[in-house]
Structures are given as C-alpha cells and as structure tokens.
Structure 1
Amino acid sequence: MKIHKLITDSDELAALCERLARADFVCVDTEFMRESTYWPELCLIQIADVNEAAAVDPMAPGLDMSPLLDLLVDNEDVLKIFHAGGQDVEIIYNLTGKTPHPIFDTQIAMMAISQSEQIGYSNLVESWLGFAIDKGARFTDWSRRPLTERQIEYAIGDVTHLAKIFPRILKRLIKTNRGHWLDAEMEKLADPDNYRNDAGNAWLKIKAAGRNPAMLGRLKALAAWREYEAQDKNIPRGRIARDETLADIASHPPKAQADLAKVRGLSPGWKDNEIGKRLMQAIEASKPLTEAEMPPKAPRGAPLGKEGALVADLLKLLLKIRAREIDVAARLLARSDDLELLAAGVRKDVSILEGWRYEVFGKDALELVEGRLAFAVVGGRLKMTHVDELHDDMREANALPAEEDEDGPLPLTEDDAEA
C-alpha cells in the first residue's frame, strides 16, 4: 500500500480524491480536539482504500478541502468505512450539513458476528490482524504543528489496518448471512437528525424531576439560552452552567437578577453582569409547555408486577443463552425495554417481534412467555427447549429407563417389590 504521509497541498488532495472516487470503499478516521471548545476542532482526516492511504491536514493554510468532503458526502458509489464513527460523522456533518453515505461501522458490524458490544479499535486490530498497535500517540495534542512522524504514522495506521479488516468482516457477514441485520443500524448512524444541533430541543437531554409545564418551559428556555451562549463563545456548555444548575433554576426561578448570587453553581458576579442579565431574560420570556410539547411519559407498557418482573428476568436469561449460542451481541438482538414490554403482555410495536429479530430471538421469547418453551440443564449445560421435548432431552441425558413414560416411572409390580 502506498502511504502519503501528510497532504497539505490542494492539487495533491484533489488528485488523491479523484483516485479514491474509483474505489469500492474508503476507510475514514479523524483526529480532533474538543475539550475546551463547543465545536470539535478538526485537526486531521485519515483516508485509505486497498491501494493507498493518506493523512490530510485541514489546518494547512489555503488547503481546499472540498474534493475530500464531496467524496465523503456526495459520492454514493463509494462505501465509507468507520470504526465507532459517531463523532467522526458529527464532524463531517458540522462541516457540510450532510452525513457520509453509504456508511459502514465495523464496531456495529462486530455485534452481528461476535458477542462484543463495543469493541475498541486496538482490540479489533489484535483480534483480526494478530498484533497490538502503539497507543503512545493516542492522547497527544493534535492541534499543535508540526505533527511528529510518530503522530502521523499512528493516525494513518487507523485506516490502513481498517482497510485490511473490513473485507474480512464483510466475508464473515456474507458467510453467516447476517449483513441485512445491520441495515437499520447503519442507516441510523447516517441519519442527519442525530447530528442536527437544535437549541430548542437541548432541554430534552437534561434530567429534571417532575412534569410541571411551567417548570419545563423554563428549562427549555434556559437550555436554549445556554446553547447560544456556548456557541457564541465556542466553549463547552458545561462551562456556562451545568445541567443540574439549570434544572434547579427552572424548578426554583429567582425573582430578580440579584438572587443569582445565591444559586449553587453560578458565580456571585452573575448578580449584576451581562450573562446574568441574559439568563433572567430567558426565564422571563419562557412560556409553559403546551400539551403537545410535553414529553411522553416513560414507556412502561402494562404494569409488570412481581410475576411480570420474574418473566422479564427469564427473558433476559433466554437472551444471554441465544446470544451465546449464535455468537452475537445481546444488545443487537434485544434491549431491556423490549423484554419488559413482552413480559407485560405487549405485542404491538415491539422490535423483537418483527423482521429478522423475530426469527432469531423473538419467536422463542414469545414461546417462553406463553409457556411453550422452558429451560433445562442437560449434560451440565443450560439450554432452552420446547416443553414437549424437555422430557425426552432429560431422559436421554440421564439415561432413564425406556419404560418410564411422560408421567414418570411405572408403578412397581408385586414381583418387583419382592425383588
């Protein structure tokens, strides 16, 4: 594979992207800093196909990034490969207003062919390629220039290794016929709604006790105010005010700006500075949420009760057994909410009762709930079996006499008793 160490020239980048546009897939990774800023600061983009790889320096003066961004978001003929790519996709969305498509995430894919739910990149490389990667440059300051040879080599390795691993994962998915299991997960990763920064919805991510419309209206206004302040100053939103501080102010709103000095989590200076003034304006302009704006109550289905909770526990055990049997991550098959809904008697709009999840797990989960499936220890191993097969399995494992019928051993005869 040809390695281009660091691209800082527009013509060189355009030529690279022209070649990569003819590839079946490209592997993509980014290095960024966001500890002290609201917006992640893009410091490096690494990209590779099976023939060549490069690190692109977006901080290089005068570098025209448009050929690379066009390749990532507008070229539908090239599959874009990431590993745990959520933050990478967010950065590309912030730059372009679009997400890469079509997209494939190897961390998600590993859930369909192993029991790994969030396998890290170093473990992925070690499991597929058999060597450990150097993590020494992982936590360096990627914004400092010039970058060292070690930094560049480490960064490019993230995509060169991925270019070797992806075809092997794809081959395994084809062999197991599990590729279609991932379609919805990959589309979810590429959904622009996941990355759209709507200040009006920021309050939904803040935990607040109670469902009072006036309190939630204040929380909505305060959360939006904080987003605008953080964006304007390009600092993390927590540096403006923490979530719990906003929730406390929404529940117990100050009557005057001077009262802000008494609010835990705010500086005493807020009692008479401009940011404190804008906070008070946000409170005063807030309106109670309408009925349509109120968040839905936490979905609980029918009340579980003690027996229902036990059924949910059995379903979780069934999930563990099935995940182990077919070597798949349990979280890909089902989530706890789905199991509790099923245990509570809900049968509509439950994901495990639809599509491939029903065939692989949901059908057995339904049979367990409805009494047609049972657990048994056979040969020292926990397994699930249909009730009408359970006795036969136990008989075979314990070598029970053949004349024992389904109701247990036949009664002793007089001759047997004398013997």
Structure 2
Amino acid sequence: MKIHPLITTTDELADLCERLGRSEFVAVDTEFMRENTYYPLLCLVQVGNEEEAAAIDPLADGIDLAPLLELLTENEDVLKVFHAGGQDVEIIYNLTGKTPHPIFDTQVAMMAVSQNEQIGYANLVESWLGKTIDKGARFTDWSRRPLTERQIEYAIGDVTYLAKIFPRLLKKLIKTERGSWLNAEMDKLADPANYANDLELAWHRIRPPSRSAVVLGRLKALAAWRETEAQDKNIPRGRIMRDETLADLASQPPKKQDDLAKVRGLSQAWKDNDIGKRLMRVLRDAGPLPSDEMPDKPKRGAPLGKEGALVADLLKLLLKIRAREIDVAARLLTRSDELEALAAGVRKLPVLEGWRYEVFGRDALDLVEGKLAFAVENGRLKMTHIDDAEPPSQEQAAE
C-alpha cells in the first residue's frame, strides 16, 4: 500500500479524491479536539483503500476540503467505511449538512459475527490482523502544528488497517448470510436527523426535574438559550451552565437577577452581568410546554409483577443462550426493556419482526406462551420445545 506524505494543498487533495472516487470503498477516520469548543475542531482526516492511504491537514493554509466532502457525501458509488464512526459522521454533517452514504461501520458489523457489542479499534486490529497498535499518540494535541511523524503514522494506521480488515469482515458477513441484518443499523448511523442540532429539542438531553408543563416549558426555553449562548461563544454548553443547574433554575426560578448569586453552579457575577440579564429574560418569557410536546409517562417495571419479572429474567437467559449459540452480540438481537415489554404482554416489538423474529423472537414468544422450556444437556443449558420433547417412559414416570 502506498502511503502519501501529509496532504496540505487543494490540488493534492483533489488528485487523491479523484482516484479514491473510482474505488469500491474508502476507509475514513478523523482526529479532532472538542474540549474547548462547541463544535468539534477537525484537525486531521485520514482516508484510504487497499492501494493507497493519506492524511489530510484541514488546518493547512488555503486548503479547500470540497473534493473530500464531495467524495464522502455525494459519491454514492463508493462505500464509506468507519469504525465507531458516530463522531466522525457528526463532524462531516457539521461541515456539509449531509452525512456520508452509503456507510459501513465495522464496530456495528462485528456484532453480527461475534458476541462483541462495542469492540474497540485496537482489539479489532489485534483479532483480525494480529497487530498491536501504539496508543502513545492517541491523546496528543491534534491542533498543534507541526504534526510529528509519529502522530501522522499513528493516524494513517487507523485507515490502513481498516482497509485490510473490511474486505475480510465483509467476506465473513456474506458467508454467514448476515449482511442484511445490518441494513437498518447502517441507515440509522447515516440518518442526518441524528446529528441535526435542533434548538427546540435541546431540552430532551436533560433529565426533567418535573412533569409540570410550566417547569418543562422553562426547561425547554433555557436549554435552547444555552445552546445559542454556547454557539455564539464557541464553547461547550457545560461552560455556560451544567445540566443540573439548568434543571434547578427551571424548577425553582429566581424572582430577580440578584438571586442568581445564590444559585449553585453560577458565579457571583451573574447577578449583574449581561448573560444574567438574558437568562432572566428567558425565564420571564417562557410559557408552559404545549400538550403535544409533553413526554410520555415513564414505563415502570411494577406492572410486570413478580411472575412477569421472572418471565423477563427467563427471556434474558434465553437471549444469552441464543447469542452464544449463533455467536452474535445480544444487543443486536434485542434489549432488556424490549424483553420486559414482551413479558408484560406487548406484541408490537422489533424483536417480533423480520430477521430478529426468525433468529430469536419466535422462541422468545414461545417461552412466554409456555411452548419452550430449558433443559440441561452435558452440563450446558439448551432450549426444548414442549411439543418436540419425548414423553417419559413408564419406568421414568414411575420413578
């Protein structure tokens, strides 16, 4: 594989992207800093296929990332391969308003061929290639220039290894006929709605202090205001105020600006500075949350009852057994809350649809309906359908 020197000009980038645009796939990774800014600061982009790889410096003077962004978001003929790519996709969305498509995430794909639910990149490389990654450069300051050779070598390694692993992983998926299982998961990863920063929905990330429409209305207004303040100052939202402080203000709003000095989590300066004035204005103007935006009442485990809880535990045991049997991550099949809903009598569930029903849901439903039992054979748990079990002999019955 050819490794290019660090790309710092638009012409070099355009030439690279023109070649990669004729590939079947391109492996992608990014290095960024987000500790001190609202939006992640993109510091390096690594791309490659089975023939060549390069690191691109987005902070280089005069470089235009348009050829790269067009390759990632407009070229539908090239599959974009990431590992745990959520944050990488977010950065591309922030730059373009679009997400890479079509997309493939090796961390997600590993759930279909192993019991690993969130395998790290280093472990992925170790298991597939037998190589150990030098993690020394992982937590360096990627925004500082010039980058060292060690940093660049480490960064490019992320896509050179990925370009070698992807074809092998894809081959295994095809052999096991599980590739179709991942379609919905990959579409979800590429859905722009996951990355859109809607101010009207910012309050959803905060634990509500109450179900009062008045309190939730203030919470919504405060959350949107905090996002705007953080964007304007280009600092993390937590630097404006923490979630806990915001929730306290929504629940117990101060009557006058001087009272902000008494709020835990705010400095004394808020009692007479401009940001304090803007905060008080938001609280004053906030109305109750409209009825159609009120959150659903939380589902509690109590309605399951003792027997239902036992059934849910059996379903979770069944899930562990099935995941082990077919060597797949349990989380890809279903989640605990879904199993509890199944035990409580809910039948409109993803686990009872499509391939999940064929692989696990049918047996889960049979267990709930008393058609499936557990047995021990050679020291291992297995499932037995009641209708398929052989009746006991007279001697066994007599015993």
Q: TM-score normalised by the shorter chain: which range applies?
A: over 0.9
Q: How far is the alpha carbon of 1:388 from its aligned partner?
A: 3.6
Q: Aligned to 1:6, what secondary structure does the other structure show?
A: coil
Aligned to 1:130: 130
Cross-structure match for 2:82: 82
The SS at the match of 1:7 is coil
Q: For residue 356 of structure 1, what is the aligned residue in structure 2? A: 355
How far does the alpha carbon of each residue in 1:226-274 deviate from its partner, in whole angstroms, 9 at most, with x for none? Answer: 0001111111111110000011010001000011011111001100000
Superimposed CA distance per residue, residues 196-236 of structure 1 (whole angstroms, 9 cap, x where no aligned partner): 01111110110023210000000001001100011111111
| 1:88-147 alpha-carbon deviations (Å, 9 max, x no partner) | 000000000000000000000000000000000000000000111111100000000000
Q: Note the 1:6-405 alignment, pairs <5 A.
A: 6-299=6-299, 303-348=303-348, 350-390=349-389, 404=395
Q: Is the 8 A contact 2:218 2:288 kept in 1?
A: yes
Give the residue type in structure 1 aligned to 2:398. P
Listed as ranges, the gaps of 5+ residues in structure 1 are 396-401, 411-419
* 3-state SS of 2:4 partner: strand
2:209/2:248 contact within 8 Å kept: no
**Gaps (5+ residues) in structure 2?**
none
Instruction: Give the Å deviation of 1:293.
Output: 1.3
Determine what percentage of the aligned residue pairs are the same residue: 75
Cα deviation 1:301-330 (Å, max 9, x = unaligned): 992111111100100000000000000000
Taking structure 1 as the reference length, the TM-score comes to: 0.93
Change (3 A) 1:378 1:225: same
Runs of 4+ that moved beyond 6 A: none
Output the CA distance in 2 between the equivalents of 1:289 and 1:77.
45
1:143-174 per-residue CA deviation (whole Å, 9 max, x = no partner) reads: 00000000000000000000000001100100
Is this contact kept in 2: 1:374–1:390, CA < 8 A?
A: no
**Alpha-carbon deviation of 1:389?**
3.8
- The DSSP-based 3-state class of the residue aligned with 1:35 is coil
- Preserved CA contact (<8 Å) 2:210 2:251: no
- 1:349-405 residue CA offsets vs partner (Å, 9 max, x unmatched): x0100000000000000000000001111111111111244456xx8xxxxxx6536
Which residue number in structure 2 is paired with residue 399 of structure 1? none
SS in 2 for 1:42: strand
Q: Distance in 2 between matches of 1:302 and 1:315?
A: 17
Assess if the C-alpha contact under 8 Å between 1:203 and 1:219 holds in 2. Answer: yes
Deviates more, 1:174-183 or 1:295-304: 295-304
Give, in whole Å, the separation in 2 of the partners of 1:217 and 1:60. Answer: 45
Task: Report if the CA contact (8 A) 1:84-1:107 is conserved.
Answer: yes
1:70 deviation in Å?
A: 0.1
CA distance in 2 between partners of 1:5 and 1:357 (Å): 46
CA distance in 1, matches of 2:168, 2:162: 10
1:298, distance to aligned residue in structure 2 (A): 2.4
Decide which moves more: 88-97 or 200-209. Answer: 200-209
Task: After TM superposition, give the deviation of residue 10 of structure 1 in Å.
Answer: 1.1
Counterpart-to-counterpart distance in 1, 2:318 and 2:256: 57
2:398 counterpart SS class = coil
Cα contact 2:214–2:289 (8 A) shared by 1: yes
* Distance apart, 1:50 and its partner CA: 0.9
Moved more, 201-210 or 96-105: 201-210
Structure showing greater radius of gyration is: 1
Question: Secondary structure, in 3 states, of the residue corresponding to 1:47?
Answer: strand
Contact 1:4 1:55 in 2 (8 A): yes
SS at match of 1:357: helix
Superposition RMSD in Å: 1.3
Number of equivalences: 399
Q: Which residue of 2 aligns with 1:415?
A: none
User: For residues 2 and 29 of structure 1, do their structure 2 counterparts lie closer, same or farther at Cα, with a shift above 3 Å needed?
Assistant: same
CA distance in 1, matches of 2:133, 2:197: 35
What secondary structure does 1:221 align onto?
A: helix
What SS class does the counterpart of residue 358 from structure 2 fall into? helix
* 1:9 Cα deviation from its structure 2 partner: 1.3
Residue 125 of structure 1 contacts residue 131 of structure 1 at CA under 8 Å; is this kept in 2? yes
Partners in 1 of 2:133 and 2:85 — Cα distance?
19
Question: Would you say the 8 A contact 1:110–1:116 is kept in 2?
Answer: yes
Aligned-residue offset at 1:297: 2.0
Paired residue type of 1:237: R
Give the distance between the partners of 2:197 and 2:26, measured in 1 at CA: 27
Distance between the aligned counterparts of 2:227 and 2:179, measured in 1?
39
Tell me, in whole angstroms, the C-alpha distance in 1 between the residues paired with 2:159 and 2:42: 17
2: CA distance between counterparts of 1:284 and 1:240? 19
